[in-house]
Structure 1
């Protein structure tokens, strides 16, 4: 089955320290109040045969573990905003979102279908793998 053998390709990557400028909503406000050390964003195109998805990943390094825990709490709450995707053509719905924390590093990942019919469970798995 094509969904079992995906191929992934990085389509863009960028790094900055201007985290708040690339965030929305309450996530932006949190990053204004708790400055990050670095933000890396990447976009991956994932093909499952003729079906395609995009996985958007952000790695936010905060100044302390406490600030990272606070950021994760805000970004994990529905409707509080997010880190903008590198590719502005990507629209994130928040339906297939995962995050992880490792010390001062918070990773967020979200998967969205692009073409064809990628099952929700497959998108959820892609986001979980990218976050963890």
Structure 2
């Protein structure tokens, strides 16, 4: 199975207060999700003409994390069906506490064809 891990240090820019998802200075759920998605992208091996887009997320944020703590997000491919790839994701802190867990789905697309379908701003 393809697996990738990313590690980040929680800063004030990663807090719920900074991201507008709450008013506390703890790791924001949107940031945990972004780090989990970063790990899913890292787990994919694509050629230069391909990219992937997120299509579904199911994430349970289980524990609060303060600024200054190191967080590791890991994504593991659990299923592929053509262009669809499903990942199990888990984020934990440096003490091993599980902070979040869930599933992310991505679809592999042709980069140029995908972008060609999106109308430029102002059209």
Q: Structure 1 length as normaliser, TM-score?
A: 0.34
Larger Rg: 2
Q: Structure 2 length as normaliser, TM-score?
A: 0.36
Higher strand share: 2
Higher helix share: 1
